[in-house]
């Protein structure tokens, strides 16, 4: 977390410097405007006196001219907020219109291109050469030639990075080849309509992407652009259910409380890997495509599900062209053609049997690397040791009986993800940590926020004084105006000239004061505001990373909402220490000063006219309340639309493959319709209230002139007194109106401040920053892990029992494997060891210490986890590998970890080597195997006492898997290793294999013992035995 926070803070620093510069320039510019206005007044009065002396005009003409200029000056002075808005809008529009106007080379929105009436599905790749646009130095395909006959299945196998997935990307027209052609039924695909082409293809990726919504809606996305897309819901649902049955997804969906209406969360967050993969397969085949592209489509499935899904895919491939990318070779042995690739070239082509006959062939070596024997072997330890060359493990974990069965009456298709199940998405909260109650009152909120701004208190003090001076100059202007007006009625030209020069110079003095005060107000408030924004974003991001996993499972804490909050909330709160608060201080000073001047100069007129201010205040308050309610009402809609946008951008390949672009735009548009309606309604009412408040200003002026004229006629006031009071009241009215124009910003700032303060105050139960708990001595840690009758349910679905009394004992230094059907609790077990969640019953200890009593940071420092879907960050490869280390490792250590993970040679082949930046979409140019090996290197460099491998080699090709597995075998020596595996060849050498089913241990033992028992494990091995007849 510390490294991510530091990286985020460095980016905030750049924005802060730019913001401070902007505020300084704004202050200088606005101060100059103020000086120019008062300088204009001085010039007008000086020149007006000259014209009176020369008898060209009288005092009445000067008043008319002056008030015309004054009204214009008021209007200009009131534009500061609007000019800031225009500035923001201009900056945003530059990027926005640049994106809108960009026409891509491969334009999915274009209607151009040929659309054949029929498709047979013959694909020909001829002389194709390709390099990714962002990596022009690396040639991915070297003049590739390949023919795939219509209706046949072609499998692409080979090393990671050999170009297999690139071929699929080119066929989907995510890119255009640099040279050569790809044709469909003899037609160059570059001449075909892009959307039409993609709608002929069903595409299942290695890392399946699902979208927020119901399960049936996700599957129905595959029908977009087909005649079936417009069917009524009942008929649409029939097609969805049929596809799900085909993909072996129907059973687990039916067991969910809401079935196909279950909402699955952002990116399918609440499904296990295998469940997501099966839904993605159903989505691909629901439209009965002519071409089916399967990029490791069964990689996330357990052996049992893989067999059933593979049979479904075999049926689905009948009568259509199917291109399969597979590292698990048992899935492609029945392919009509197997193409073996390496470094962008084809090495071998043939069927499974013909390629096996090639002595020393590349494919044969791949098969041998994955071979797992299902021959019955004696269960005695001596025989197993002789067979495998490993020492036998005599000690069986306590509490586990050989061949133990799981409780009956339980379901085996529950989510095995480290996140809550889909059946709980409708629940909004997690009772994981006590959140503080909302802080009432704007004054308390401002006080709490100012505590975060304490380092800038000197700047704030200067800014407050400057803003107050800015405000007081306006009532001072009223006094000066009264005096200068009296001068114009003097009869002695010499005295008139002298007095006019003096009072005109006073206006210049006010101008200079305003210039300095405005500059200091903007500069100091800008400095403190930008510092506060940076600090709040930094602390909010830090607090987000501090939260436990359960907090991120809540729907309102989706990626889109959190990113939106980080961007919006801190900017809104800046008004409490920035321009808005400065303007409010200035306006309140002006109102107070004007009231004092009016009452001191002429209390009768002052009281009468000031009594109208409450009406003006009431009208503006109604406007403010309306805008505040509108902001509150639209906030949820804007968060939802931001989430749609984030989800779409992050999953652009899947969006393009499904031709969902228009569908996503429509969903985004719908999310904006309701706030637009609210905005229209509020604007109409707001306009009426604005008209009322504006008319009140003129009515107040009318009252002032009527009552003031009466007082003058009674000789109680003279012209000087009347205009001093009148101008003071005008300033007070103008200031009161502007106060309420700023209140919506203050209201938004308060709401955002409450959100931030609540987040900052939230302390999770599983606190990775907490200092309490037993701190493990890394040198003394052994790595013994014991589950005793562990029961577990996810916090927001307590009725669903994921683990139902799990008993496992893992000795220090043991290599233990967890296998079993998808949803049996394997990954949940790993998540509990990392203490992503707390168990709900039983005990879980490491080295005899209950992990709930351990310091969380200390616990995780001795554990490394390699997940099924590797996450790389926007930084260099070197930094990614060193990411989990508190102290920076040496280059030699980084390179050794990469050698152990079999990724060093690939990295050094890149133009920038270890300094290759993975920012933006660069990491998408890495194959799944390459990303996985970098993740393995990142885990190994930490030298953990406990190594957790959740399908760590699932994305690797057979050759890399063999090498990496050997490295992992070496790495596991002297440390406890817990591996989750569907590919059983990777764990046959494990000291103990636990077969889980329905949240308990069904059977356990070594590979040889379990084969001899011929139970559930034996059945799993049979299904993956490449030498067995099927």
The CATH label, of 1.20.1600.10, 3.60.21.10, 3.40.50.300, 3.20.20.140, for the domain at 123-370 is 3.40.50.300
Place of tokens 């009768």: 604
Residue 271 to residue 266: CA distance in whole angstroms: 10
Q: Tell me: pLDDT of 908 over 80.
A: yes
> pLDDT at position 104, please?
87
Domain range list for the chain = 2-101+436-761, 123-370, 870-943
Top pLDDT among 441 and 532 is at: 532
Find out whether 811 and 395 touch, Cβ atoms under 8 Å: yes
Instruction: List, for residues 183-224, the tens digit of each pLDDT value.
Output: 999 999 999 999 999 999 999 887 788 888 889 999 999 999
**906 sits in which H/E element:** helix 904-909
Report the share of the chain in percent with pLDDT over 70. Answer: 86
Question: Each residue of 764-794: b (16+ CB within 10 Å) or e?
Answer: bebbbeeeebeebeeeebbbbbbbeebbbbb
Please, what CATH class does the domain formed by 870-943 belong to?
Answer: alpha beta
Q: Tell me the per-residue pLDDT of 462-495, one tens digit each, with 9 for 90 and over.
A: 999 999 999 998 899 889 888 888 888 888 889 9
**pLDDT for the residue numbered 729:** 83
Structure confidence at residue 407 (pLDDT): 32
> What pLDDT does 433 receive?
42
Residue 772 banded pLDDT, cuts 50, 70, 90: confident
**614: buried, middle or exposed (CB in 10 Å: 19+, 13-18, 0-12)?**
exposed
Higher-confidence position of 961 and 662: 662
What pLDDT, on a 0 to 100 scale, did the predictor assign at position 301? 67
Q: Which residue bears the tokens 């809008």?
A: 89
Do 2-101+436-761 and 870-943 fold alike per CATH? no
Q: Do residues 898 and 889 lie in contact, with contact meaning Cβ atoms separated by under 8 Å?
A: no
Q: Can you give the pLDDT at residue 789?
A: 93
Burial 318-333 (b: 16+ CB within 10 A, else e): eebbbbbbbbbbbbbb
Residues 6+ apart with CB under 8 A from 715: none
Q: What is d(CA 769, CA 746) in angstroms, rounded to the nearest whole number?
A: 33
Per the listing, tokens 């939802």 go with: 640
Q: What is the pLDDT of residues 951-992, one digit of tens each?
A: 777 666 666 677 667 767 766 777 899 998 877 877 888 899
Tokens of 137: 């130095």
The average pLDDT across 909-938 equals: 78
Q: How far is CA 933 from CA 156, 242, 476, 871, 939, in A?
A: 20, 38, 73, 11, 10
Contact 299/961 with Cβ under 8 angstroms? no
Looking at the DSSP assignment, which residues form a beta bridge with residue 155? 324, 338
Q: What is the pLDDT of residue 798?
A: 74
DSSP SS3 for 208: coil
Per-residue pLDDT of 26-64, as tens digits, reads: 888 888 888 988 888 888 888 888 888 888 888 888 888
Q: Is the dihedral of CA 451, 455, 461, 467 positive or negative?
A: negative
pLDDT score for 949: 87
pLDDT of residue 375: 53
CA dist list (Å): 758 to 7, 217, 376, 751, 752: 24, 35, 61, 11, 10
Q: What is the predicted pLDDT for the residue at 265?
A: 65
Residues 399/842, Cβ–Cβ less than 8 Å? no
Q: Give, in order, the Cα–Cα distances in Å from 621 to each of 584, 730, 932.
A: 15, 19, 58
In 3D space, the residue among 702, 640, 623, 724 whose CA is nearest the CA of residue 675 turns out to be: 640
User: CB–CB of 194/184 below 8 Å?
Assistant: no
Give me the pLDDT at residue 955, please: 60
- Cα four-point dihedral sign 69, 73, 76, 78: negative
pLDDT (0 to 100) of residue 923: 56
How far is residue 948 from each of residues 655, 781, 866, 940, 994, measured CA to CA in Å? Answer: 33, 16, 6, 11, 15
Helices in 54-132 by DSSP H: which ranges? 59-77, 80-101
Residue with the larger pLDDT of the pair 88 and 293 = 293
Any alpha helices (H) in 763-903, and if so which ranges?
A: 826-833, 856-861, 877-881, 891-900
Q: Read off the pLDDT of each residue in 659-682 and give the average, rounded to a whole number.
A: 86
d(CA 908, CA 903): 9
Buried b (16+ CB within 10 A) or exposed e, 814-827: bbbbbbbbbbbbbb
Q: How far apart are CA 294 and CA 571, in angstroms?
A: 45
Fold held by 2-101+436-761: ABC transporter transmembrane region fold (1.20.1560)
Cα–Cα distance measured from residue 500 to residue 486, given in angstroms and rounded to the nearest whole number: 10
* The pLDDT value given to residue 270: 63
Return the higher-pLDDT residue of 41 and 919: 41
Least-confidence region, from 62-66, 319-323, 512-516: 62-66
Q: Output the six-digit token pair for 302.
A: 């357990």
383 against 725, higher pLDDT: 725
Digit-coded pLDDT (tens) for 239-260: 999 999 888 889 888 888 888 9
pLDDT score, position 417 = 37
Q: What is the pLDDT of residues 93-143, one digit of tens each?
A: 888 888 888 888 898 888 899 999 889 999 999 999 999 887 787 888 998
Task: Give the residue, 959 or 375, on which the prediction is more confident.
Answer: 959
Q: Of 13-22, 56-65, 217-226, 777-786, which one has max mean pLDDT?
A: 217-226
pLDDT at 997: 87
Query: Which pLDDT tens digit goes with each residue over 402-411?
Result: 333 333 333 3
């Amino acid at each position: 977390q510390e490294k991510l926070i530091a990286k985020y803070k460095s980016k905030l620093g750049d924005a802060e410097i730019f913001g401070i510069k902007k505020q300084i320039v704004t202050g200088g510019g606005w101060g100059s405007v103020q000086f120019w206005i008062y300088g204009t007044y001085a010039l007008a009065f000086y020149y007006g006196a000259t014209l009176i002396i020369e008898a060209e005009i009288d005092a009445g003409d000067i008043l008319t001219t002056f008030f015309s200029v004054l009204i214009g000056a008021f209007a200009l002075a009131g534009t500061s907020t609007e000019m800031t808005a225009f500035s923001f809008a201009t900056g945003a529009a530059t990027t926005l219109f640049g994106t809108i106007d960009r026409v891509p080379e491969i334009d999915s929105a274009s209607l151009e291109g040929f659309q054949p009436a029929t498709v047979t599905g013959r694909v020909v790749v001829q002389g194709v050469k390709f390099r990714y646009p962002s990596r022009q130095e690396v040639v991915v395909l070297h003049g590739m030639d390949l023919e795939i006959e219509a209706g046949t299945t072609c499998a692409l196998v080979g090393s990671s990075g050999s170009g297999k997935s690139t071929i699929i990307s080119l066929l989907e027209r995510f890119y255009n080849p640099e040279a050569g052609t790809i044709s469909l039924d003899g037609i160059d695909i570059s001449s075909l309509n892009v959307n039409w082409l993609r709608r002929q293809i069903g595409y299942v990726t290695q890392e399946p992407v699902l979208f927020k919504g119901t399960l049936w809606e996700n599957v129905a996305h595959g029908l977009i652009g087909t005649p079936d897309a417009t069917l009524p819901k009942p008929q649409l649902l029939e097609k969805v259910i049929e596809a799900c049955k085909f993909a072996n997804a129907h059973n687990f969906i039916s067991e969910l409380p809401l079935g196909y209406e279950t909402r699955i969360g952002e990116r399918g967050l609440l499904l296990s890997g295998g469940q997501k993969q099966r839904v993605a397969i159903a989505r691909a085949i629901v439209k009965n495509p002519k071409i089916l592209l399967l990029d490791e489509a069964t990689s996330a499935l357990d052996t049992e599900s893989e067999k059933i899904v593979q049979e479904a895919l075999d049926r689905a491939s009948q009568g259509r062209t199917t291109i399969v990318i597979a590292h698990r070779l048992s899935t492609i042995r029945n392919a009509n053609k197997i193409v073996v690739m390496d470094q962008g070239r084809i090495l071998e082509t043939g069927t499974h049997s013909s390629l096996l006959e090639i002595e020393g062939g590349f494919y044969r070596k791949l098969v041998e690397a994955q071979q797992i024997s299902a021959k019955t072997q004696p269960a005695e330890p001596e025989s197993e040791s002789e067979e495998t060359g490993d020492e036998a493990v005599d000690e069986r974990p306590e509490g586990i009986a050989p061949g133990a069965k799981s409780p009956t009456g339980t379901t085996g298709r529950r989510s095995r993800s480290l996140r809550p199940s889909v059946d709980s998405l409708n629940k909004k909260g997690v009772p994981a940590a006590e959140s503080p109650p909302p802080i009432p009152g704007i004054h308390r909120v401002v006080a709490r926020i100012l505590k975060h701004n304490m380092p800038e208190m000197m700047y704030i003090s200067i800014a407050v004084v400057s803003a107050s001076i800015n405000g007081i100059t306006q009532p001072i202007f009223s006094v000066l105006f009264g005096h200068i007006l009296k001068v114009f009625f003097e009869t002695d030209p010499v005295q008139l000239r002298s007095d006019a020069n003096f009072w005109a110079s006073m206006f210049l003095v006010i101008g200079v004061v305003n210039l300095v005060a405005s500059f200091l107000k903007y500069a100091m408030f800008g400095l403190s505001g930008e510092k506060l924004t940076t600090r709040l974003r930094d602390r909010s991001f830090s607090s987000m990373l501090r939260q436990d996993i359960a907090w991120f499972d809540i729907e309102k804490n989706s990626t889109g909402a959190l990113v939106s909050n980080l961007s919006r909330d801190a900017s809104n709160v800046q008004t409490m220490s920035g321009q808005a608060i400065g303007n409010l201080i200035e306006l309140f000073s002006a109102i107070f000063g004007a009231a004092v001047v009016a009452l001191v100069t002429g209390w009768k007129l002052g009281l009468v006219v000031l009594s109208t201010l409450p009406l003006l205040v009431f009208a503006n308050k109604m406007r403010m309340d309306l805008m505040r309610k509108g902001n509150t009402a639209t906030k949820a809609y804007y968060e939802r639309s931001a989430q749609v946008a984030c989800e779409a951008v992050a999953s652009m390949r899947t969006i393009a493959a499904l031709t969902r672009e228009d569908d996503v735009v429509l969903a985004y548009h719908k999310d904006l319709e309701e706030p637009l309606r609210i905005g229209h309604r509020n604007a109409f009412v707001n306009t009426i209230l604005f008209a009322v408040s504006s008319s009140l200003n003129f009515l107040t002026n009318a009252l002032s002139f009527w009552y003031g004229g009466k007082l003058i006629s009674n000789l109680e006031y003279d012209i000087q007194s009347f205009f001093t009071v009148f101008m003071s009241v005008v300033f007070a009215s103008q200031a009161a109106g502007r106060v309420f124009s700023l209140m919506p910003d203050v209201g938004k700032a308060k709401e955002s401040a409450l959100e931030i303060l609540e987040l900052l105050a939230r302390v999770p139960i599983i606190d990775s920053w907490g200092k309490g708990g037993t701190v493990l001595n890394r040198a003394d840690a052994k790595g013994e892990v014991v589950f005793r009758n562990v029961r577990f349910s996810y916090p927001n679905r307590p009725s669903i029992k994921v683990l139902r009394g799990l008993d496992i004992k893992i000795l220090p230094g043991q290599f233990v494997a967890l296998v079993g059907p998808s949803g049996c609790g394997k990954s949940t077990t790993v998540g509990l060891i990392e203490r992503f969640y707390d168990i709900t019953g039983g005990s879980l200890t490491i080295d005899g210490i209950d992990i709930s009593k351990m310091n969380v940071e200390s616990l995780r420092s001795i554990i490394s986890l390699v997940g099924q879907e590797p996450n790389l960050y926007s930084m260099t490869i070197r930094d990614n590998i060193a990411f989990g280390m508190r102290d920076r490792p040496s280059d030699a250590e980084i390179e050794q970890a990469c050698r152990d993970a079999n990724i060093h040679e690939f990295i050094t082949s890149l133009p920038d080597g270890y300094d290759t930046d993975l920012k933006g979409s660069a990491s998408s140019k890495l194959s799944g195997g390459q990303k996985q090996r970098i993740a393995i290197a990142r885990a190994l460099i930490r030298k953990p006492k406990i190594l957790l491998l959740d399908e760590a080699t699932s994305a690797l090709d057979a050759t890399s898997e063999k090498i990496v597995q050997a490295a992992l075998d070496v790495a596991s020596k002297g440390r406890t290793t817990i591996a989750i595996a569907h590919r059983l060849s990777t764990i046959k050498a494990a000291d103990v294999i636990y077969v889980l089913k329905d949240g308990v241990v069904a059977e356990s033992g070594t590979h040889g013992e379990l084969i001899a028992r011929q139970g559930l494990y034996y059945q799993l091995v049979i299904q993956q035995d490449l030498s067995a007849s099927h």
